[in-house]
Amino acid sequence: MSIRLEHIHKSFGSVEVLKDISLEFPEREFITLVGPSGCGKTTLLRILAGLETASSGAIFHGEQKVSDLAPGKRDVAMVFQSYALYPHMDVFRNIAYGLKVRGTPKEETERRVREVARVLEIEHLLERKPKQLSGGQRQRVALGRAMVRKPWLFLMDEPLSNLDAKLRVTMRGELKRFHLRLETTTVYVTHDQLEAMTMSDKIAVMDKGEVQQYATPAEVYNRPANIFVAGFIGSPPMNFLSGAAISGGELNLDCGDAKRAAIAASPLAGNESREVVLGVRPQDIAVHMAAVPHTIAAEVSLVQLLGSEKLVDFNYGLREQVTAQVKADSLLEAGQKVWIGLDPAKLHVFDPASGRNLLLEN
């Protein structure tokens, strides 16, 4: 059964943190709520958990309204950012607590805890206290505590943010594998767009208490709904070039000194002339050593080696800046004069006033 959020509003005093959120989470999918700090994603998760009550709106699990139920009655499980393991209980009792509270018979509790521990490979840790565990092990125990109850919904609040970079990558893969195995609907909160992209079936990008876009990772990346989504998803972030305009069926760019360079055919239907904000990802910029049509003159200002790639900053026009990602063996150095071309198929054009992606409206 899918989960429906209908017109969820939440205010703390006069501060409105969630504004009319309506979403549907299909059964068995891995949904990520992603956005910057303070966008309301954790509040939305806590409302799903029942730890906060929405100012208005309702949550449905299938046809059943669950938003009036207390957290313990919803039968959902949550993995907290801080893990929140009970410090005075050993791992076994931590995992078993939810079953004990529900009055599950002792033998069954024992069997289920051992089964979960086996799946998570923490059988040898069952007698340890949380303080005797490493970060990754605590993470698994927290996961075990959520899994053992076989809930219909997993809620995860930035569960990887306290792990070091290497462990985070490992655990990311494991979480995804567990999800594929258990097939329990999961709502995952993160501020890390990479986690959102790699793990999710669907992503809800949030900002300022509103869902900016709710779509598959590929859709969010390739067809961002607006400037915010385009800038938030993707690493390194998308370049936004101001001073772009569409006229006479061409897209041209202000290159300073009243010169405008045509860089591509207009991606928009119709012949209307208008100012736009041009978005281009660093991967979609080509560097030429000589002038060719539809390129603009630029100067290399900074080169950063990432390993397999280089991140190169260029200045063009009147101190406008753009970043490109090129192969590591490209022979570019600061001060060098080059020409840069933007891949016409990968350009995004946004409305300067509203920030909307104009390509989606064609």
Which residues of the shown chain bind another protein in the complex (CB under 8 A)?
A: 49-51, 70-73, 76-78, 80-88, 97-98, 101-102, 129-133, 135, 138, 145, 149, 162
Least distance (Å) from another protein to the CB of residue 146? 8
* CB-nearer residue toward another protein: 12 or 65: 12
CB of 101 to another protein, least distance (A): 4
Nearer to another protein, 46 or 281 (CB): 46
Q: Which residue has the tokens 């207009």?
A: 266
How many Å apart are CA 285 and CA 297, to the nearest integer? 13
Nearer to another protein, 32 or 139 (CB): 139
Instruction: State the minimum distance, in angstroms, from the CB of residue 133 to another protein.
Output: 7
- In terms of CB distance, is 30 or 83 closer to another protein? 83
Question: In terms of CB distance, is 52 or 207 closer to another protein?
Answer: 52
8 Å CB contact between 110 and 123: no
Which distant-in-sequence residues (6+ apart) come within 8 Å of 359 by Cβ?
A: 223, 267, 268, 348, 349
Q: Which is nearer to another protein, 88 or 337 (CB)?
A: 88
Tokens of 140: 């698994």
- As given in the structure block, the two tokens for residue 119 are 């799946």
Which strands, in side-by-side order, build the sheet including 348-350? 260-265, 250-254, 239-247, 274-280, 348-350
- Report the residue number, 87 or 293, with the smaller CB distance to another protein: 87
CA–CA gap between residue 298 and residue 219 (Å, rounded): 31
Closest contact distance (angstroms) between CB of 64 and another protein is: 17
Q: How far is the CB of 122 from another protein (least distance, A)?
A: 15
Q: Give one DSSP letter per residue of 47-67, joined into a string.
A: HHHTSS--SEEEEEETTEE-T
Reading phi first (left if > 0) and then psi (alpha if -120 to 50, else beta), residue 158 is in left
Residue 353, Cβ density class (10 Å: 0-12 exposed, 13-18 middle, ≥19 buried): exposed
CA distances from 228 to 116, 268, 345 (A): 40, 20, 21
296 by Cβ neighbours in 10 Å (0-12 / 13-18 / 19+) ranks as buried
Spatial neighbors of 84 by CB under 8 A, at least 6 apart, are 142
Give me the least distance between CB of 84 and another protein, in Å please.
4
Given the complex with another protein, which of 28 and 129 has the nearer CB atom?
Answer: 129
Beta carbons of 321 and 301 less than 8 angstroms apart: yes
**Least distance between another protein and beta carbon 138 (Å):** 7
The nearest distance, CB 171 to another protein, in angstroms, is 14
